[in-house]
Amino acid sequence: MKKLNYIKGLIEGDKLIVDEIYKTFLPKVSYWIKRNHGTDQDGFDVFQDALEALVTKGLEHKLAPDTNFQALLFAICRNKWISAIRLKKKEELVRFEELSRYNDITNIQAVSEDAMQEQETKKMLKDTFILLSPLCQQLIPMVENKLAAKEIAVELSMTNANAVHRRKFACFEAWRKRIEKHDYYPIWKSLKSL
Protein backbone atom coordinates (compact mmCIF):
# COMPACT_ATOMS: atom_id res chain seq x y z
CA MET A 1 0.00 0.00 0.00
CA LYS A 2 2.75 2.40 1.04
CA LYS A 3 4.77 1.63 -2.12
CA LEU A 4 1.95 2.95 -4.25
CA ASN A 5 1.66 6.07 -2.13
CA TYR A 6 5.33 6.90 -2.66
CA ILE A 7 4.95 6.90 -6.43
CA LYS A 8 1.68 8.80 -6.27
CA GLY A 9 3.14 11.30 -3.82
CA LEU A 10 6.16 11.89 -6.03
CA ILE A 11 4.05 12.43 -9.14
CA GLU A 12 1.61 14.72 -7.40
CA GLY A 13 4.37 16.71 -5.77
CA ASP A 14 3.14 15.90 -2.26
CA LYS A 15 5.75 17.60 -0.07
CA LEU A 16 5.13 15.39 2.98
CA ILE A 17 5.59 12.18 1.03
CA VAL A 18 8.63 13.51 -0.82
CA ASP A 19 10.11 14.51 2.54
CA GLU A 20 9.46 11.03 3.90
CA ILE A 21 11.16 9.51 0.86
CA TYR A 22 14.29 11.59 1.49
CA LYS A 23 14.24 10.77 5.22
CA THR A 24 13.73 7.04 4.74
CA PHE A 25 15.83 6.19 1.72
CA LEU A 26 18.52 8.84 1.22
CA PRO A 27 20.68 7.67 4.18
CA LYS A 28 20.79 4.12 2.79
CA VAL A 29 21.75 5.26 -0.70
CA SER A 30 24.34 7.72 0.63
CA TYR A 31 25.83 5.03 2.85
CA TRP A 32 26.21 2.65 -0.09
CA ILE A 33 27.69 5.31 -2.34
CA LYS A 34 30.18 6.36 0.35
CA ARG A 35 31.28 2.74 0.67
CA ASN A 36 31.81 2.76 -3.06
CA HIS A 37 34.18 5.69 -3.38
CA GLY A 38 31.59 8.43 -3.39
CA THR A 39 30.79 11.30 -1.09
CA ASP A 40 27.64 12.47 0.70
CA GLN A 41 27.17 14.93 -2.15
CA ASP A 42 27.42 12.14 -4.75
CA GLY A 43 24.80 10.19 -2.79
CA PHE A 44 22.46 13.14 -2.69
CA ASP A 45 22.90 13.96 -6.41
CA VAL A 46 22.32 10.37 -7.50
CA PHE A 47 19.31 10.03 -5.22
CA GLN A 48 17.65 13.22 -6.45
CA ASP A 49 18.29 12.26 -10.03
CA ALA A 50 16.70 8.86 -9.44
CA LEU A 51 13.58 10.46 -7.95
CA GLU A 52 13.23 12.63 -11.04
CA ALA A 53 13.55 9.54 -13.23
CA LEU A 54 10.79 7.87 -11.24
CA VAL A 55 8.49 10.86 -11.77
CA THR A 56 8.92 10.57 -15.52
CA LYS A 57 8.24 6.86 -15.45
CA GLY A 58 5.24 7.20 -13.18
CA LEU A 59 3.68 9.99 -15.21
CA GLU A 60 3.88 7.95 -18.34
CA HIS A 61 2.15 5.04 -16.59
CA LYS A 62 5.16 2.81 -17.14
CA LEU A 63 5.17 1.45 -13.61
CA ALA A 64 3.14 -1.59 -12.68
CA PRO A 65 0.87 -0.99 -9.68
CA ASP A 66 2.73 -3.61 -7.65
CA THR A 67 6.19 -2.18 -8.33
CA ASN A 68 8.45 -2.39 -5.29
CA PHE A 69 9.31 1.29 -4.80
CA GLN A 70 12.38 0.74 -2.66
CA ALA A 71 13.81 -1.92 -4.96
CA LEU A 72 13.31 0.20 -8.05
CA LEU A 73 14.70 3.35 -6.42
CA PHE A 74 17.82 1.51 -5.25
CA ALA A 75 18.32 -0.18 -8.62
CA ILE A 76 18.15 3.19 -10.39
CA CYS A 77 20.57 4.74 -7.89
CA ARG A 78 22.95 1.84 -8.25
CA ASN A 79 22.93 2.01 -12.05
CA LYS A 80 23.41 5.74 -11.99
CA TRP A 81 26.36 5.50 -9.65
CA ILE A 82 27.95 2.72 -11.70
CA SER A 83 27.57 4.84 -14.83
CA ALA A 84 29.09 7.81 -13.02
CA ILE A 85 32.11 5.94 -11.74
CA ARG A 86 32.54 4.11 -15.00
CA LEU A 87 33.51 7.51 -16.28
CA LYS A 88 36.05 7.69 -13.49
CA LYS A 89 37.22 4.13 -14.29
CA LYS A 90 36.50 2.83 -10.83
CA GLU A 91 33.89 0.29 -11.76
CA GLU A 92 35.88 -2.70 -10.51
CA LEU A 93 35.95 -1.18 -7.05
CA VAL A 94 32.20 -1.12 -6.57
CA ARG A 95 30.85 -3.48 -4.00
CA PHE A 96 27.78 -4.77 -5.73
CA GLU A 97 26.47 -6.98 -2.99
CA GLU A 98 24.33 -4.40 -1.17
CA LEU A 99 21.95 -2.38 -3.30
CA SER A 100 22.13 -5.07 -5.99
CA ARG A 101 20.41 -7.62 -3.81
CA TYR A 102 17.16 -6.08 -4.96
CA ASN A 103 17.93 -7.05 -8.53
CA ASP A 104 16.57 -10.49 -7.83
CA ILE A 105 13.12 -8.99 -7.74
CA THR A 106 11.51 -9.70 -11.08
CA ASN A 107 12.18 -7.19 -13.79
CA ILE A 108 13.65 -4.50 -11.53
CA GLN A 109 17.01 -4.37 -13.30
CA ALA A 110 15.39 -4.05 -16.72
CA VAL A 111 12.99 -1.38 -15.50
CA SER A 112 15.78 0.62 -13.89
CA GLU A 113 17.99 0.52 -17.00
CA ASP A 114 15.02 1.54 -19.05
CA ALA A 115 14.44 4.43 -16.64
CA MET A 116 17.96 5.71 -17.24
CA GLN A 117 17.53 5.70 -21.00
CA GLU A 118 14.20 7.39 -20.63
CA GLN A 119 15.73 10.09 -18.50
CA GLU A 120 18.31 10.78 -21.18
CA THR A 121 15.54 10.96 -23.75
CA LYS A 122 13.55 13.32 -21.54
CA LYS A 123 16.61 15.47 -21.06
CA MET A 124 17.00 15.71 -24.84
CA LEU A 125 13.33 16.64 -25.18
CA LYS A 126 13.58 19.19 -22.38
CA ASP A 127 16.85 20.75 -23.62
CA THR A 128 15.26 21.34 -27.00
CA PHE A 129 11.76 22.21 -25.79
CA ILE A 130 13.05 25.19 -23.82
CA LEU A 131 14.66 26.56 -26.97
CA LEU A 132 11.26 26.91 -28.61
CA SER A 133 9.45 30.23 -28.67
CA PRO A 134 7.37 31.03 -25.57
CA LEU A 135 4.25 30.63 -27.71
CA CYS A 136 5.22 27.09 -28.76
CA GLN A 137 6.10 26.19 -25.17
CA GLN A 138 2.60 27.16 -24.11
CA LEU A 139 0.82 25.78 -27.12
CA ILE A 140 2.21 22.22 -27.22
CA PRO A 141 1.09 21.18 -23.70
CA MET A 142 -2.34 22.70 -24.37
CA VAL A 143 -2.74 20.86 -27.66
CA GLU A 144 -1.52 17.58 -26.22
CA ASN A 145 -3.88 17.87 -23.28
CA LYS A 146 -6.72 18.10 -25.79
CA LEU A 147 -7.80 21.65 -25.05
CA ALA A 148 -10.18 22.88 -27.74
CA ALA A 149 -8.43 24.88 -30.47
CA LYS A 150 -10.88 27.75 -29.94
CA GLU A 151 -9.99 27.95 -26.25
CA ILE A 152 -6.29 27.84 -27.05
CA ALA A 153 -6.75 30.65 -29.58
CA VAL A 154 -8.36 32.81 -26.89
CA GLU A 155 -5.83 31.87 -24.22
CA LEU A 156 -2.84 32.61 -26.45
CA SER A 157 -4.38 35.62 -28.23
CA MET A 158 -4.27 33.92 -31.61
CA THR A 159 -6.63 34.84 -34.40
CA ASN A 160 -8.62 31.61 -34.65
CA ALA A 161 -8.58 27.81 -34.42
CA ASN A 162 -6.89 27.54 -37.84
CA ALA A 163 -3.98 29.60 -36.62
CA VAL A 164 -3.67 27.21 -33.69
CA HIS A 165 -3.48 24.20 -36.02
CA ARG A 166 -0.97 25.89 -38.30
CA ARG A 167 1.17 26.93 -35.37
CA LYS A 168 0.95 23.49 -33.80
CA PHE A 169 2.62 21.85 -36.82
CA ALA A 170 5.19 24.63 -37.08
CA CYS A 171 6.04 24.26 -33.39
CA PHE A 172 6.44 20.49 -33.63
CA GLU A 173 8.55 20.85 -36.75
CA ALA A 174 10.82 23.42 -35.11
CA TRP A 175 11.11 21.17 -32.06
CA ARG A 176 11.94 18.08 -34.15
CA LYS A 177 14.67 19.96 -36.02
CA ARG A 178 16.28 20.99 -32.74
CA ILE A 179 16.04 17.43 -31.40
CA GLU A 180 17.78 16.10 -34.49
CA LYS A 181 20.72 18.38 -33.72
CA HIS A 182 20.94 17.29 -30.07
CA ASP A 183 24.00 15.30 -28.96
CA TYR A 184 21.85 12.44 -27.64
CA TYR A 185 19.73 12.08 -30.80
CA PRO A 186 22.06 9.66 -32.67
CA ILE A 187 22.21 7.46 -29.54
CA TRP A 188 18.44 7.55 -29.12
CA LYS A 189 18.03 6.68 -32.78
CA SER A 190 20.40 3.74 -32.61
CA LEU A 191 18.65 2.43 -29.47
CA LYS A 192 15.31 2.64 -31.24
CA SER A 193 16.54 0.74 -34.25
CA LEU A 194 17.85 -2.18 -32.16
Partner 1 sequence: MSEETIHQYLEGSLDEQATSAFESSLAADPQLATQVELMKEMKSYGKVQDQTERAQRVIRDVGHKYNPSHQAKPQQGEQSKVKIKRLRYLIPAIAAILLIGIILNSLFQSTAQDDTSSLYAHYAEVTPLSLSTRSTENNELVTTAEEYFNSQDYSEAIHALTSIIAQDVDNAKAIFYRGYAYIADDQYEAGRKDLMSLLDNTLYQHTASYHIALSYIKSGSSSLAVPYLKEIPASSNHHAQAQEILKIINE
**Contact positions toward partner 1, by CB under 8 A?**
10-15, 18-19, 22, 26, 39-41, 44, 48, 51-52, 55-56, 59-60, 121-122, 125-126, 129, 131-136, 140-141, 143-145, 157-159, 163, 166, 169-176, 179, 188-189, 192-193
Nearer CB in complex with partner 1: 66/145 = 145
Q: Could you write out the three-class secondary structure of 140-171? A: HHHHHCCCCHHHHHHHCCCCCHHHHHHHHHHH
Nearer CB in complex with partner 1: 55/84 = 55
Nearer CB in complex with partner 1: 75/139 = 139
Nearer CB in complex with partner 1: 63/109 = 63
CA 57 to centroid of chain Cα atoms: 6
Query: Least distance to partner 1 from the beta carbon of 98, Å?
Result: 20
- Residues 6 or more apart in contact with residue 33 via CB below 8 angstroms: 39, 42, 43, 46, 77, 81
Query: Least distance to partner 1 from the beta carbon of 144, Å?
Result: 4
Buried b / exposed e over 39-59, threshold 16 CB at 10 Å, is: eeebbbbbbebbbebbbbbbe
